[in-house]
Amino acid sequence: MQLLVGLGNPGPRYAGNRHNVGFMAVEAIARRHRIGPWRRRFRGVTAEGPVNGERVLLLLPETYMNDSGLAVGEAAHFYKIDVGNIVVFHDEIDLPPAKVRVKTGGGNAGHNGLRSISSHVGNDYRRVRIGVGHPGAKELVYPYVLSDFAKAERPWVEAVCDIIADNVVMIVRGEDSSFQNKLHLAMQAKGFGNVLGPGEPEAE
């Protein structure tokens, strides 16, 4: 079994936040693969089901972002899921909007959700980093990620979540590079190849 975790904060107040794009991606996976119903356990909500024959557990922690590791640790311990079979979907300010990169381990780049998970299960889990752009100054990061996506951003947000859901079987199979390339090409095909965020200059 693989554990697919979406990061975010619980409740309607945060539902549209940039910080919640991990929740959005995993919810899209559940819809696309008809995984459900959602159940409250492991300090979050979970759903179990197959992705192309592979059993997965979807988890949305309800601990608030900074304590995400409590939920991930409980679920991983209960099912004896190795850290290498944990995949975390999260917002990434160091990537331009709509860009998606996959990596295993590495630093947490100031992301408190990742820091919490690493403290509970170790650092060698896989991360699907969903770019939301950078506001341009360090002091603006906190209010930026806790603000809703702008209306103009919502089309690419929906597109990237749907494309992640359509191709998540590659992640489940460990085909991270193929997944990343497929997403890039699919987003370009939908016209989202050059999305710009706050503080990003136009290409000359």
Q: Look-up: residue for tokens 């489940």?
A: 172
Q: Look-up: residue for tokens 């975010």?
A: 8
- CA 157 vs. chain centroid, Å, equals 12
Q: Which amino acid is at 5?
A: V
1: its two tokens = 């079994």
C-alpha 115/C-alpha 122 separation (Å) is: 10
Which residues are marked as active site? 19
CB 9 within 8 A of CB 20: yes
